[in-house]
């Protein structure tokens, strides 16, 4: 148990970051911090994908094939998860941009970024 925790510490790290992210989304009253929480949540998953490609193959290097004619047998990490993460990062950035645009609109209308204040302002209207 302890040994697998040491060799798989990136997984533990991933779940810690995941937990911090989701906690921020739930507990923070500040809309920008909520969005940061969502980002942290997503980043943890990206890290999980990348680390999973390395841990499955013992002693693997980055998936770059050397420019020699016959490189022979190479132990490299699976490149597929890394490609996936690149795509997912793009998606995440687009979402953050849309989210920030919405927050700017909300701030312009209500003059607050806090959810509890926002609730009061909307209840008054």
The residues of the shown chain that bind other proteins, judged by CB under 8 A, are: 22, 25, 31, 34-35, 38, 41-42, 45, 48-49, 52, 56, 78, 80-81, 84, 87-88, 91, 94-95, 98-99, 101-103, 105-106, 108-110, 118, 122, 125
Task: Name the minimum Å distance from CB 120 to other proteins.
Answer: 13
Positive or negative, the CA dihedral 29, 32, 38, 40 is negative
Instruction: State the burial class of residue 14 (Cβ atoms within 10 Å of its Cβ: 0-12, 13-18, 19+).
Output: buried
- Separation of alpha carbons 103 and 115, rounded Å: 11
Of the pair 68, 87, the CB lying nearest other proteins is at 87
The partner residues of 46 in beta bridges, in order of sequence, read none
Task: Name the minimum Å distance from CB 113 to other proteins.
Answer: 11
Of the pair 71, 111, the CB lying nearest other proteins is at 111
- Separation of alpha carbons 101 and 26, rounded Å: 21
72: left (phi > 0), else alpha (psi -120 to 50), else beta?
Answer: left
Of the pair 109, 120, the CB lying nearest other proteins is at 109
Task: Name the minimum Å distance from CB 45 to other proteins.
Answer: 5
Of the pair 67, 96, the CB lying nearest other proteins is at 96
- Separation of alpha carbons 87 and 94, rounded Å: 11
Task: Name the minimum Å distance from CB 48 to other proteins.
Answer: 6
């Amino acid at each position: 148990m302890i040994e697998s925790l040491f060799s798989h510490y990136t997984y533990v790290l991933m779940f810690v970051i995941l937990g911090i992210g989701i906690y921020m989304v739930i507990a923070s009253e500040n809309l920008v911090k909520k969005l940061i929480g969502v980002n942290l949540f997503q980043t943890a998953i990206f890290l999980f994908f990348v680390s999973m490609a390395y841990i499955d193959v013992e002693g693997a290097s980055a998936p770059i094939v050397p420019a020699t004619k016959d490189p022979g047998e190479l132990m490299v990490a699976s490149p597929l998860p890394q490609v996936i993460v690149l795509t997912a990062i793009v998606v995440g950035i687009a979402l953050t941009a849309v989210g920030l645009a919405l927050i700017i609109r909300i701030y312009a209308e209500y003059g607050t970024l806090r959810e509890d204040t926002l609730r009061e302002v909307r209840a008054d209207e």
